[in-house]
């Protein structure tokens, strides 16, 4: 006889605040220090040098992390877990990620598995992490030449975006992140997409008032999609526009092409494939290409090692037993999911 025991489990509260302002981080970190949150810090090495005054005097509570794709690894993850254990972290402790997307990803993953989950707070310091990686709860590390293949969905307790961190970014790093704003506009908001296009020079010149509006809208658009599909079973997959090919480009280039620039190339070649196969119109492709060209993104890529590129593509999370999943968008900036695409057919688009 089989007995069925039904148990309704209330999942962890997924709601949290995203605070966007200028000159707010010192006040917020002081609050964490003085309100018994027992904070521990994972801090990007460069940030630790530029913003050393933000960190607590007790340096034993600070783990300095050299943020690069190589260090987004099991080896570094274990070191962070050892750091938490050495500092007697408990279920009530809070881990603060102070850095860009790589720092936030590995910190979130470390928090999600230590004692089966401790609180963590995202303090993104790059444009890319402000509008993308700090929001949505994706955490992870790289493994076996595949990006972010081991990780978890684990939401932060809070995201603190201080616009002043942008002052230390060079133009390349800023545009590396801005590709993610173009992406989210391209799959969800035609009006926002057109506003970006019309104000390209002001954005390149980093008009702070305009950037405040753009970052806010970028966060809202991503948050709305994540709310509908937290665990990426359907609609959230739209946020992977450009990423199917981007991750393979990053690996094929030995990370000489950084994430945002790879996403820009990914959007171009995925759209090119979409036109060739009749999924989208030439008008849709032209709109995406013109936008990326306007911001001076690289628009052509030559695969260095076809086997390496193909292997990275097949190991990617967007690959299934039935083929590759691709995200496209139409001339009205409405994203769509196209599944079961043959990987070898897809990379042939680079030969045209």
List, by residue number, the catalytic residues: 116, 138, 180, 222, 232, 236, 240, 243, 247, 259
Residue among 158, 170, 154 nearest 24 (CA): 158
CA 284 to chain CA mean position, Å = 24
Residue 219: both structure tokens together: 């966060």
Burial class (CB in 10 A: 0-12, 13-18, 19+), 17: exposed
Q: Dihedral through CA 98, CA 298, CA 246, CA 79, nearest 10?
A: -30
Q: Are strands 138-143 and 146-153 parallel, antiparallel or unpaired?
A: antiparallel
Residues whose CB falls within 8 Å of the CB of residue 287, separated by 6 or more in sequence, listed in order: 193, 331, 333
Compute the distance between CA of residue 86 and CA of residue 143 in angstroms, rounded to an integer: 26
Compute the distance between CA of residue 44 and CA of residue 248 in angstroms, rounded to an integer: 25
62-69, long-range: CB < 8 A, 24+ apart: 65/99, 65/103, 65/106, 67/99, 67/100, 67/102, 67/103, 68/102, 68/255, 69/102, 69/142, 69/147, 69/250, 69/255
Q: Are strands 62-65 and 323-329 parallel, antiparallel or unpaired?
A: unpaired
Handedness of CA 172, 173, 178, 183 (dihedral sign): positive
Task: Answer whether 275's CB lies under 8 Å from 288's CB.
Answer: no
Helix intervals (H) in the chain:
25-34, 45-50, 74-86, 101-113, 127-128, 171-186, 190-198, 200-204, 208-228, 243-252, 259-276, 282-294, 306-315, 343-347
Compute the distance between CA of residue 28 and CA of residue 9 in angstroms, rounded to an integer: 33
């Amino acid at each position: 006889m089989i007995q069925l025991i039904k148990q309704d489990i209330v999942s962890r509260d997924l709601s949290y605040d995203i605070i966007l302002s200028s000159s707010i981080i010192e006040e917020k970190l002081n609050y964490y220090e003085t309100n018994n949150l027992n904070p521990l810090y994972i801090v990007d090495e460069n940030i630790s040098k530029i913003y050393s005054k933000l960190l607590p005097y007790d340096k034993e509570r600070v783990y300095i992390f050299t943020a690069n794709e190589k260090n987004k690894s099991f080896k570094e993850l274990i070191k962070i877990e050892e750091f938490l254990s050495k500092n007697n972290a408990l279920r009530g402790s809070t881990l603060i990620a102070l850095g860009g997307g790589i720092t936030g990803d590995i910190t979130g993953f470390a928090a999600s598995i230590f004692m089966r989950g401790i609180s963590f707070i995202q303090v993104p310091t790059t444009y890319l992490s402000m509008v993308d990686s700090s929001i949505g709860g994706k955490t992870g590390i790289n493994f076996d030449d595949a990006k972010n293949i081991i990780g978890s969905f684990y939401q932060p307790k809070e995201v603190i975006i201080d616009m002043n961190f942008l002052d230390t970014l060079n133009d390349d790093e800023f545009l590396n992140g801005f590709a993610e704003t173009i992406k989210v506009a391209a799959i969800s908001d035609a009006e926002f997409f057109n506003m970006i296009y019309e104000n390209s020079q002001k954005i390149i010149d980093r008009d702070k008032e305009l950037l405040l509006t753009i970052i806010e809208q970028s966060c809202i658009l991503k948050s709305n999609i994540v709310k509908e599909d937290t665990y990426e079973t359907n609609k959230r997959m739209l946020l992977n526009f450009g990423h199917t090919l981007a991750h393979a480009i990053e690996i094929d280039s030995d990370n000489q092409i950084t994430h945002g620039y790879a996403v820009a190339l990914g959007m171009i070649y995925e759209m090119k494939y979409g036109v060739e196969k009749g999924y989208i119109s030439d008008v849709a492709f032209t709109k995406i290409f013109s936008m990326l060209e306007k911001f001076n993104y690289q628009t052509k890529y030559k695969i260095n090692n076809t086997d390496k590129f193909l292997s990275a593509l097949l190991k990617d999370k967007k690959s299934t037993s039935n083929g590759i999943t691709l995200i496209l968008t139409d001339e009205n900036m409405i994203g769509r999911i196209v599944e079961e695409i043959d990987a070898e057919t897809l990379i042939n688009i680079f030969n045209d």
